């Protein structure tokens, strides 16, 4: 059972909307089931609001959202009860069992997976959970579950993994060869491998494929899918692809900062500010609303990434970035309707 994602963020509502209906708001049939922990809300939308109210009590925390996605290989096919059991065990091991959490299982891919949106702010003490070394703790928890439930764990690091023996090399080669031959870019390759419970990682100047227990060099799978051959076929070094992924996350952070700055309209010291400065900030606010300022530039860059690698890749790389695109397109449609009146 791999960890597809684990990171902190700022917006409960945006993540909840993405989990329920996708980045464009149209994928209403993607949800298999939902569940809540330590929440009184009637549904997922109310859960996001309740989490926001709780987080707002602690004014020191800037990123109260903790998002984890658990993905199973297609062979495992866990039941909803087994998936909830895995989530509860993971939250217990992380020390988040008393925190508010929303579980959303999706059925829009071949591999079963569930997303967990957790409030890092405790609902009673209002203290913030520390995510230090979270990947190590997640890996240890899932390894225990794997042994108990008979699942395979796909981890995010090749450290402490064993080099695949001949029998495992054959299995990994059979699972990875077709995706590696058919993919058209790095984003598609990572998505195709993830659907088979595998992940791809750089190692030195080469590359390995891992199922979380064993790893095998890409060149051992087939010479045609070695790292240099893939980089030549995709016309992009793997290191550049990883930089683009990091850039998407940075753009998401920049968007939040620009939106916050623009929405303030004037500084807290606006009474003593000059008229010209106040007008400038008001202009920033209008530009942000109409999508003609810095926000528009960021949204164009995210859209370019989505066009090049696909919206599904953008959603997997950064749900927050996908939510930004969805919100930008919705805002543009609203503005277009208003201007046409």
pTM of the predicted model as reported, rounded to 2 decimal places: 0.50
Checking if the pLDDT of 147 tops 70, the result is no
Indicate if 46 and 178 belong to the same structural domain. Answer: no
Bigger pLDDT: 253 or 233? 233
| Whether 46 and 77 share a structural domain | yes
On the question of pLDDT at 335 being above 60, the answer is: yes
| 154 located within any domain | no
Q: Looking at the domain assignment, is residue 143 inside a domain?
A: yes
Tell whether 191 and 242 lie within a shared domain: no
CA–CA distance, 305 with 293 (Å, rounded to integer) = 19
As a whole number, mean pLDDT of residues 308-319 equals: 82
Instruction: Tell me: do 248 and 284 sit in the same domain.
Output: yes
Which residues partner with 37 through β-bridges?
A: 101
Report the C-alpha dihedral over residues 191, 117, 242, 232, rounded to 10 degrees.
10
111-135 mean pLDDT: 88
Label residue 271 by pLDDT band (50, 70, 90).
very low
Per-residue model confidence (pLDDT) at position 227: 92
Contacts of residue 20, Cβ cutoff 8 Å, sequence gap at least 6: 28, 31, 44, 45, 104
- 135 in the same domain as 33: yes
Residue 156 lies in a domain: no
Q: What is the pLDDT of residues 2-34, one digit of tens each?
A: 554 566 777 888 888 888 887 667 767 788 899
pLDDT tens readout for residues 278-300: 555 555 555 545 555 677 888 88
Residues 332, 288, single domain; the answer is yes
266 and 308 in a single domain? The answer is yes
Regarding whether 306 and 193 lie in a shared domain, the answer is no
More confident site: 140 or 40: 40
CB 311 within 8 A of CB 302: no
Looking at 205, 234, 263, the residue that finishes a domain is 234
Q: Please check whether residues 143 and 9 belong to one and the same domain.
A: yes
> 149, 180, 208: which is the final residue of a domain?
149
Report which of residues 261 and 292 the model is more confident about.
261
Q: Please write the tens of the pLDDT for every residue from 36-72.
A: 999 988 888 889 999 999 998 888 888 899 988 887 7
Domain boundary among 234, 266, 296: 234
pLDDT at res. 171 = 85
Rounded percentage of the chain residues whose pLDDT exceeds 70: 79
Residue 318 lies in a domain: yes
Are 269 and 284 part of one and the same domain?
yes
Cβ-based neighbours of 122, under 8 Å, separated by 6 or more: 98, 99, 128, 129
Say what the pLDDT of residue 120 is.
94
Q: Are residues 121 and 18 in the same domain?
A: yes
Residues 131 and 75 occupy one common structural domain = yes
Q: What is the mean pLDDT of residues 305-317?
A: 84
Q: Which pLDDT does position 4 carry in this prediction?
A: 47
- Return the SS3 of 163: strand
pLDDT of 234: 92
Provide the pLDDT for residue 134. Answer: 79
d(CA 199, CA 156): 8
155 located within any domain: no
Which pLDDT value is given to residue 18? 83
CA 246 to chain centre: 12
Domain count, the chain: 3
- Does residue 321 lie within any of the structural domains? yes
Give me the domain span that covers residue 169. 162-234
């Amino acid at each position: 059972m791999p960890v597809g994602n684990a990171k902190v963020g700022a917006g409960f509502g945006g993540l909840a909307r993405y989990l329920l209906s996708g980045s464009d708001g149209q994928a209403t049939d993607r949800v298999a089931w939902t569940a809540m922990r330590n929440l009184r809300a009637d549904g997922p939308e109310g859960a996001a609001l309740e989490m926001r109210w709780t987080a707002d009590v602690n004014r020191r925390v800037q990123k109260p959202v903790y998002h984890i996605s658990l993905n199973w290989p297609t062979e495992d096919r866990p039941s909803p009860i087994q998936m909830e059991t895995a989530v509860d065990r993971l939250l217990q091991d992380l020390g988040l069992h008393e925190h508010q959490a929303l579980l959303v299982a999706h059925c829009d891919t071949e591999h079963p997976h569930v997303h967990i949106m957790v409030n890092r702010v405790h609902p009673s003490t209002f203290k913030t959970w520390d995510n230090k070394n979270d990947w190590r703790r997640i890996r240890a928890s899932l390894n225990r579950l794997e042994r108990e439930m008979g699942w395979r764990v796909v981890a995010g690091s090749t450290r402490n993994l064993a080099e695949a023996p001949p029998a495992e090399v054959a299995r990994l080669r059979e699972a990875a060869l077709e995706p590696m031959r058919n993919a058209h870019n790095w984003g598609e390759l990572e998505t195709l491998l993830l659907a088979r419970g595998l992940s791809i990682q750089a190692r030195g100047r080469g590359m390995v494929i891992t199922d979380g227990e064993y790893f095998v060099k890409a060149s051992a799978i087939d010479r045609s899918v070695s790292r240099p051959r893939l980089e030549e076929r995709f016309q992009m070094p793997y290191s550049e692809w990883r930089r683009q992924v990091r850039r998407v996350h940075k753009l998401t952070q920049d968007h939040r900062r620009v939106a916050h700055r623009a929405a303030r309209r004037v500084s807290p010291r606006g009474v003593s500010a000059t008229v010209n400065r106040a007008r400038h900030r008001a202009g920033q606010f209008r530009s942000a609303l109409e999508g003609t300022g810095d926000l528009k530039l960021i949204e164009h860059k995210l859209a370019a990434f989505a066009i090049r690698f696909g919206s599904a890749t953008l959603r997997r790389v950064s749900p927050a970035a996908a939510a930004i695109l969805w919100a930008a397109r919705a805002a543009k449609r609203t503005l277009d309707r208003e201007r046409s009146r």
